[in-house]
Chains A and B, each alone.
Chain A
């Protein structure tokens, strides 16, 4: 199992960024997927979940209405569209596979920095 995030970088407050997570080593379409972030020196924060079959989506209150999770099963890819970014969104963002209601595999993480 391998998960590889990309698309991070420096963005100004109010700006947008789209993260991608490329999956390999498992049947991507069989698994729900998640985004989790970690602000510098802080703990983990769950952000969003997308179901495998229905593609229903769920969000933490902190990002609902600003972030959009999506997936392309044909391309084994997970995405996170982040709009109206705030300083407090600065963090390392991880994609994580959902197995048995836990996060059993994680990507290496990608840094998003919101700064003027």
Chain B
């Protein structure tokens, strides 16, 4: 149950696109199409942004998109807006009803 690897920080200017990576193993990210992404503002509970690698819950802007290649998943935020500045966490199903999270990425909108 080792944590997934995310870059500690990412940044972009308003209107630009930024992609955050999430690297695991064949036992989690690479083994299942059950990667999800969460946005967490300071002092708040996490919010689901993407599930099943590419799916967006109702109400999440289509500026947020997910993808996966091998053992690495990606969250892309297009058309960056000031309110996108937040911490982002990936999570993957790891089998036998267990999950693992990434260490989190702080996204800064310049």
- Which residues of A come within 8 Å of B, CB atoms? 32, 34, 36, 43-46, 49, 51, 56, 58, 60-62, 94, 99-109
Interface 1/0 per residue, B42-60 and A, CB below 8 Å: 0001111001100101000
Residue B69 lies at the interface, judged by CB distance under 8 Å to chain A: no
- Which residues of B come within 8 Å of A, CB atoms? 1, 3, 32, 34, 36, 38, 40, 45-48, 51-52, 55, 57, 89, 91, 93, 96-104
The answer to whether B98 touches A43, judged by C-beta atoms less than 8 angstroms apart, is no
Partner of A101, one of B1, B51, B57: B51
Partner of B103, one of A43, A99, A103: A43
The answer to whether B98 touches A103, judged by C-beta atoms less than 8 angstroms apart, is no
Bound CA–CA A46/B46 (angstroms): 13
Nearest-neighbour CB distance to chain B for A60, whole angstroms, equals 6
